[in-house]
Structure 1
Amino acid sequence: MLKLAKREEQIMQVFWDLNKAFIRDIIPLLPDPKPHYNSVATIVKILEEKEFLERETAGNMHSYYPLIGREEYQKFALKDIVSQYFDNSYPRMLAFFAKEQKLTEKQLTEIVNIIKKDNK
């Protein structure tokens, strides 16, 4: 899987929210400054080439839908961040965020409980 550029990721976030859309449908949902239609169309084509999106033709119009789910990409992106910034150490990453966000002991306990619950 390839890492997405910032604007590519913003566009994919909209497709993940909508599940299927025409280019004109996603532009209003993108952050400001809104890109021009042609710019979005170019990025959508790139996302197709990277196999993140698939096109469906309806007459002379094209709608697009994600081939890669949000969660699948989140896992990939998180692994990349952990590798690049935390020496492949999830404990280091969690410690960084806990310190950075000044998490309380109660919040840390809540995180541990969520992890335990999800591992059952």
Structure 2
Amino acid sequence: MGKQLKPTESELEILQVLWEKQKATVREVHETLAQTKDVGYTTTLKLMQIMYDKGLVKRDESSKTHVYEPLASREKTQKQLVSRMVDTLFQGSPAQLVMQALGQHKTSAGELEEIQRLLDNLKNQ
């Protein structure tokens, strides 16, 4: 599956911003994060530098203001994190993860229909 991504919770928050914006400066990321949490600009800068070193983001250094973008897609990151969660928290049982998620969170009728289609497809394979 390639290199395993292991972003921290704070790094995931930054990745969420970058996935939405596709590309952003540290200031743009910081301003977005600051709308919902108390975070310092230098903290955001340091985290994004660490993310660059870890290979989570790439950085365009062609201008004075560096522009960052995510290296892995949201979907790839979600797949790797869910796989790791199933293995470490649910003893390899995806069913346990699904039951826990559905039992703890309100699910819309549309989401339930989508889940049912997925289950039907899995049964038919």
Percent same amino acid at aligned positions? 26
Give the 3-state SS of the residue equivalent to 2:61 in structure 1: strand
Please name the residue that 1:77 is paired with: 81
- Is there any run of 5+ residues in structure 2 with no aligned partner, and where? none
Please name the residue that 1:32 is paired with: 37
CA distance in 2, matches of 1:29, 1:9: 14
Q: Does 1:61 align with 2:73?
A: no
CA RMSD, aligned part only? Answer: 2.9
Give TM-score scaled by structure 1 length: 0.82
Letter in 2 for 1:46: I
- Is there any run of 5+ residues in structure 1 with no aligned partner, and where? none
1:1-120 equivalences under 5 Å are 1-30=4-33, 31-33=36-38, 35-101=39-105, 108=112, 110-116=114-120
Structure 1 residues 109 and 62, CA gap change in structure 2 (3 angstroms): closer
Deviation at 1:27, TM superposition (A): 1.1
Give the 3-state SS of the residue equivalent to 1:64 in structure 2: strand
CA distance in 2, matches of 1:79, 1:64: 27
Give TM-score scaled by structure 2 length: 0.79
Structure 1 residues 41 and 112, CA gap change in structure 2 (3 angstroms): same
Structure 1 residues 61 and 87, CA gap change in structure 2 (3 angstroms): same
Q: Deviations over 1:4-39 (max 9, x none)?
A: 111111011101110001111111211311x21111
Deviation at 1:110, TM superposition (A): 4.9
